[in-house]
A and B are shown apart, each in its own frame.
Chain A
Amino acid sequence: MLILFKFLFFIIVLTAVMSVIRRGREGVLGKSGLLFWLLFWFAALIAVLYPGSTQFLAAYLGIGRGADLVFYSAIIALFYLMFRLHIKIEGIQRDVTKIVRQEALKTTIPAPSSSKKTV
């Protein structure tokens, strides 16, 4: 069962790495992004193929088990990803606003202005 899981995970990592390389070639992913994702998938593959490897790093960081290290790291990574997504979405929202504003001002029909008031 475990061997089947390792095999399936290997296929998933292979697909992901091919996708990362393709996106790098297309210019969608920058050099640092390419390096990050390649290292990420390589580390994930090592952790799955050799579960004992995480134990070493966990012990070095003062965390009891290797599985706990993977779990904590995953939670931190997910929180960070959520944070980045929030910021990205807000940026897109502001771009939408700019477009809506441009369009609104372009199609505005001015009403006849009343006389100038002084206070």
Chain B
Amino acid sequence: MIMALVPAFNESRTIASVVKDLLLYVDDVVVIDDGSVDNTADLARGAGAIVIRHSLNRGQGAALETGHDYARRSNADWVIHFDADGQFMASDIPAALAMIKTSKKDVLLGSRFLGNHQIIPWFKQWFLLPMGRLVDRLSGTVRLSDSHNGFRILGRRALDTIFITQDRMAHATEIPGLIAKYHLTWVEYPITVQYHNFGQGTVGGLKIVRDLLISKFL
């Protein structure tokens, strides 16, 4: 079974089309509504998704781990992390799935930099992303061409091994860290990202560093 996990917080503008697109390529779409105050949950359900609803906003990492929990109970064979804001292309999924299957890897990580057809804000490309890569290196992650890309595919072994403890955005550093820690095999795959908004800014980056530091003492 192929299951897409879509963490969503106030994504009523895009969620229905994202779910419909995903259903063309996967068996189940699980939207984890992370305490939205708009009608994200209703729209997702109406579009055909299974909706898990957090009563409080807990962050993207927490929502993904809730999705992992559900996927483990549902005996999913493959889990796809997919953003709710419409920045990813569901049409990238078949080729990405084919790649992880033929290469027999545990995890596939999306990359904006393996292909050369991306339009990325320059501050993000030349400052925030290199800084993100540096933080990843210092955190002992596997070496990726793209830092903090939300498109991932996890096989069953990875799903049973990767437990996300970072509730907010630091999960994007935690996951490559866990891949390295548990010696999971991985591959990068070029995906298309259409920027509708800027995403993580400098303040967001600093919060990630703070979360990573604090977690060392927990």
A residues sitting closer than 8 Å to B (CB atoms) are: 86-87, 90-91, 93-94, 96-97, 100-101, 103-105, 107-111, 113-117, 119
Contact A104 to B48, CB < 8 A, known contacts A117-B25, A119-B2 = no
Chain A residues, Cβ within 8 Å of B104: none
Chain A binding surface SS class: helix
The interface residues of chain B lying within 8 Å CB-to-CB of A93 are: 167
Q: List, sorted by A's number, 26 A–B pairs whose CB atoms are closer than 8 Å.
A: A86-B214, A87-B218, A97-B59, A100-B58, A100-B62, A101-B54, A101-B58, A101-B62, A101-B65, A104-B52, A104-B53, A104-B54, A105-B52, A105-B66, A105-B69, A107-B53, A108-B51, A111-B45, A111-B48, A113-B28, A116-B1, A117-B25, A117-B26, A119-B2, A119-B93, A119-B98
Per the bound structure, the CA–CA distance linking A116 and B28 in Å amounts to: 9
Given contacts A90-B214, A90-B218, A119-B93, 4 further A-B contacts (CB under 8 A): A86-B214, A113-B27, A114-B28, A114-B48
Q: Is the CB of B70 within 8 A of A105?
A: yes
- Expressed in whole angstroms, the minimum distance between the Cβ of B29 and any Cβ of chain A is 9
Residues of A within 8 A of B28 (CB): 111, 113-114
How many whole Å from A119's CB to the nearest CB in chain B?
A: 4
Q: Which of B179-218 contact A (CB under 8 A)?
A: 211, 214-215, 217-218
B23 within 8 A of A: yes
Contact A97 B167 (CB under 8 A): yes
Closest chain A residue, CB of each to CB of B213: A86
Q: How far is the CB of B208 from chain A (nearest CB, A)?
A: 14
Say yes or no: B66 contacts A104, CB within 8 Å. yes
Residues from chain B with a CB closer than 8 A to the CB of A111 are 28, 45, 48-51
Bound together, the chains give a CA A111 to CA B51 distance in angstroms of: 8
Chain A residues with CB under 8 A of B62: 97, 100-101
- In whole angstroms, how far apart are the Cα atoms of A116 and B94 in the complex? 14
Kindly state the separation between the CA atoms of A111 and B28 in the bound complex, as whole angstroms: 9
Number of interface residues of B (CB under 8 A): 38
> Could you say which of B50, B65, B217 contacts A108, with CB atoms under 8 Å apart?
B50
Closest 6 CB pairs of A and B: A119-B97, A97-B62, A111-B50, A97-B58, A101-B66, A108-B52
Return A73 CB to nearest CB of chain B, in Å: 22
Query: Beta-carbon contacts of B31-68 to A below 8 Å, as 1s and 0s?
Result: 01000000000000100111111111011001001100
Complexed CA–CA distance, A97 and B56 (Å)? 8
What does the 1/0 interface line of B74-111 toward A look like (CB < 8 Å)? 00000000000000000001100110010000000000
Q: How far apart sit A20 and B68, CA to CA, in the bound complex (Å)?
A: 44
Q: Contact between A114 and B27 (Cβ–Cβ < 8 Å)? A: yes
| Residue of A with least CB distance to B50 | A111
Contact indicator B218/A91 (Cβ below 8 Å)? yes
Which residues of chain A have C-beta atoms less than 8 A from B50's C-beta? 108, 110-111
Q: Is B118 interfacial (CB-CB < 8 Å)?
A: no
Q: How far is the CA of A20 from the CA of B30 in the complex (A)?
A: 50
A94 touches B165 (CB 8 A): yes
| A115 closest partner in B (C-beta) | B27
Chain B contacts of A113 at CB under 8 A? 27-28
CA gap between A96 and B51 in the complex, in Å: 20
